[in-house]
Amino acid sequence: MALSGKTVFITGASRGIGRAIALRVARDGANVAIVAKSGVANPKLPGTIHSVAEDVALAGGTPLALRCDIREEDDVRAAVAATADTFGGIDILVNNASAIWLRGTLDTPMKRFDLMQQVNSRGTFLVTQACLPWLLQAPNPHVLTLAPPPSLDPKWWAPHTAYTLAKMGMSHVTLGLAAEFAAHGIAIDALWPRTIIATDAIKMIPGVDAAQCRRPEIVADAAHAILTRAASEGTGRFFIDEDVLRETGVTDFSHYAVDPSRPLLPDLFLEPDA
């Protein structure tokens, strides 16, 4: 129950990895701000902030459902203020919200380009900026962003320059803020899955079979392992979920697989043997 009574602010928490992290910290008895645009059920995308709030309560946490578009500064600052007013502060921020479009330059409308930049790098910067006054007061503050290790390898850029720019933007925000606030005791890190995770986002990846993916719970368990460490242990690190769990003693990962009999697909931005 390491996070009992801690307040965790999670963006993109209405489904997928964000929801899984919300439920994992709830099992410790955490206060969970469930931040996402999905306030009303969508037949194409299951899950809303309200359904996750119900799940968080059942798991043992105290939920706060907040409809928020992280592209909108007023939305973000209102959500942060509501969280701090409700729970008395913010201990942990998880920047999970992200937009994806895996197409080449000629097949990328500028509307999609702008969406990814606004949600991914700008959204991560904005939400972190808004939470920082509270994190600076927290006894063991963490910021964890779902972003890959930074890379300039052209093979990750050529197929989808716009998405790579947006996603690596989150990585570079992590690098910069970690260095800027290193002396203030906030652990500002990133986490990325070794394999593709079975979320709605895989529908955007041509040829990916969900049976060759892992479930979001592996990322949630890794996030929990990071967020329960002392912030003084370090900052500016780029963790891989499987490596984090190996450090905690996990040796069998088969229960995370959607279909343990199928080979797993490595995620983007990682070498197969990295």
Instruction: Dump pLDDT digits (tens) for 21-78.
Output: 999 999 999 999 999 998 776 767 778 999 999 999 999 999 999 999 999 999 999 9
Instruction: Dump pLDDT digits (tens) for 212-246.
Output: 999 999 999 999 999 999 999 999 999 999 999 99
Domain layout of the chain by residue ranges: 7-256
Average pLDDT on 129-144 reads 98
Length of the chain: 274
Q: Could you give the CA distance from residue 83 to residue 116 in angstroms, rounded to a whole number?
A: 26
Q: Please provide the DSSP assignment of 125-192 as one string.
A: HHHHHHHHHHHTTSSS-EEEEE-PPP---HHHHTT-HHHHHHHHHHHHHHHHHHHHTGGGT-EEEEEE
Average pLDDT on 165-183 reads 98
Helix/strand/coil percentages in the chain, nearest 5:
45, 15, 40
Return the bridge partners of 63, or none.
32
CATH class of 7-256: alpha beta
Q: What is the pLDDT of residue 61?
A: 98
Residue 274, pLDDT > 60, answer: no
Q: What is the pLDDT of residue 273?
A: 65
Average pLDDT, the chain: 95
Name the token pair of 29: 């008895």
Q: Look up 256 and say whether it is catalytic.
A: no
Say what the pTM is. Answer: 0.96
Name the token pair of 164: 């790579």
* Catalytic residue chosen out of the listed positions 156, 163, 256, 269: 163
Q: Could you give the CA distance from residue 24 to residue 21 in angstroms, rounded to a whole number?
A: 5
Q: What is the pLDDT of residue 203?
A: 74
Q: At 189, phi and psi to the nearest 5?
A: -130, 175
